[in-house]
Structure 1
Amino acid sequence: MTGAKPEFSGLKDALKRVWEVKGVYYRRMAEMGISPDDVNSMEDFQSLPLTTKEDIRDSYPTGMMACDQAKVVRFHASSGTTGKPTVVPYSAKDLDIWTQCMAQCLRTAGVTEKDVFQVILGYGLFTGALGFHYGAEAVGAAVVPTGGGFTDRQLTLMEDLGTTVFTSTPSYALHLCEEIEARGIRDRLKLRLAILGGEAWTEAMRDEIESRLGVVALNSYGLSEILGPGVAMECPDKVGMHFNDEHFFVEILDEAGRPLPVGEEGEIVITSFTKEAFPLIRYRTRDLGRLVEARCSCGRSGLMLDRVKGRNDDMLIIRGVNVFPSQIEAALGQVPGLTLNYIIEVEEKGHLKDMTVLCESRDFLDPGQGKELFNRSSSRLKEILGIRVNFRLLEPGTLDRSTGKAVRLRKVS
């Protein structure tokens, strides 16, 4: 059995509510000749069909809503490549659950009422900023709702208001490292904790952010379709992300959709069984990870979600070898003299893909130093990836800096 073990009655209740919508999931179950009455064990539940992001788009705007419109008090949405966003309704009960989950996550991370909490995420239709905002207020922290971007303002308020904790994407935290060093203000800041998420990142990036900012950097996990941030959070032990099995059932599946045992890596699939307006049954996140068991000094017990490796739809096949952006970042992080400001260019050559990794050096180099760093970088990439890829060494400051999620892949013609 993979996943935490919630009360089965909660899973079955959510299934009944989704069935009663008579939407896409009802039709899929009907095609299989099953109804909620046929689901009487966890094994039965784990044989149910999966829900996908395409199902939500096909049901635009509210075809999967499981409560009366009168109960909906808010809509959030994520962007879509088809031009239509995926719309997620929330009832008042859902918002209360979300706040509780976020507050629990932030307490797990070590946030208290003594903290000044700066939210460096975009406010609006996306869920990130408001989830952290209300969760931090529930803990009793003083919230600084700066939103995304506007780095000068971020740093001014960070210093003047005595920010102790901030949340952002890992790539923007790396940008803050550069700006704080350029201004020489690190000793004037009171930062102690960075809570980072929204994109895959590596231990090498964590080490760099922690050393340059003098903070503890922790992993946060969530997604708009399930709830928003608040699904899982690391504690300072950093042995995995604790998730709330009172609200989420987490499975890890192989490529054929079969449940994997604890410790094996596959796709993260989540059921949000307490949501009133928008419960989802066995939702395919496309994120890659694994469940782990480890003793944790924070006192929390049960299974934990390990660091998310990346997305299965981000995987590149280069000359027959599977390559993930997180592997490239891990390799670059092991080369002294490189930054983690990088981009991956992918070019179609006939029926094959070719790849070039572009990465900035930490310092301006003379030709001899540049050649030596280039050789070390190319060798390390080959060792980690198992194939030789093109590499270009860039001067510091060449690439654009991200104010939100970093764009790591770029197609070139």
Structure 2
Amino acid sequence: MADLFDSDLPPKKPAGPRPLADRLRPRALSQVIGQQQVLGPDAPLGAMLASGSLSSLVFWGPPGVGKTTIARLLANESDLHFVQISAIFTGVPDLRKVFEAAKIRRANGQGTLLFVDEIHRFNKAQQDGFLPYMEDGTILLVGATTENPSFELNAALLSRSQVLILTRLNEDDLELLAQRAEAELGRALPLDTPARAALINMADGDGRSLLNLIEQIAGWKTDKPLGVDTLTSRLMKRAAKYDKSGDEHYNLISALHKSVRGSDPDAALYWLARMLTGGEDPRYLARRIVRMAVEDIGLADPQAQHVCLQAWETYERLGSPEGELALGQAVTYLALAPKSNAGYVAFKAAMVAAKKTGSEPPPAHILNAPTTLMKEQGFGAGYAYDHDAEDGFSGQDYFPEGMKRGIYYLPVDRGFERDLKKRLDFFAGLRAKRKARQN
């Protein structure tokens, strides 16, 4: 932990040229690019600074969007001593030293803004260790995390902090950052317009990544602007930001599912491609696609489930990348299929009813009676064989005796369920006639 208290030490002489990202670090919050949903005059941080009532914060967002920079500038503008630690490299003894140093500063009239990078790496007990120092004002905590705080931070810490969401920089933000880099370097990037757009796209919303790429490009010597092909051949292709076990995984599969449900094949294909290019297991996607067919298309198009199962089987036979085309076709089919969740809703309702009446036996008339004793007990007595009844329908009650008849399946007037609705209405009419005759 040699660098734990760097902010307390005299500045070191630089060992070499400062990286471009460090040279362009904003010196005031007004110079921060993007994040106006947090920094604007009517946004949370803007309002806090205007009122002088800064509270503990948690910055939630992807890498390279300014979490560390904003925390450092908050300290500057609030006249707080800035201390930065990382949860990856910091243990309990180190934290005690941080808190003791903050107490001394407080006694001397200066507060401490403690910036904790990757705060979600601390376990719940370690997170509790911050609470007394937050409550008595020893520190103003600013945590940074790329993970969902609702899942990774304990309730006590969250209740004492305000969570602010920082987002990826958009194309305009990244272009402005590129222009600042060119001004700092004193020359324009040697790229033509399409190559410049490709460079912005490569950064994928990450400002630090863009500056690192620009730093590489700035050293290239060329007599004319370079095109996209040259740019991509000289730069290693940057891997997509996709965590197969984290929030991004669940966010993207949700986006795919909702695009299918919303009958948008283009969006559905895009999110499928995002997951595949991010390294998602196609077999996981195949399972989820079948689930979509059952949950959101259902009996409005019974063929949809077969299409998805065949796509899964095709993938198993062909593998990647050829088999992935079958998954794309299945997603397209689902997005354009008539939608109904009537079967899904009916099953959930039946499950609720089953849990409430789990010990109720079937009515005696539909029980088999293979033994004399069971016949004497009335098992099977009065059962009507539907094939012998008029219209092939007896209209008997198959629910437990004394249980009110449940109505769970309510088909929609779309796709094949139109026909199923007609059949359901037909049988309901016959049942009502049978009941009227009995009365």
TM > 0.5: no
Tell me which structure has the larger Cα radius of gyration: 2
- More helix, by proportion: 2
- More strand, by proportion: 1
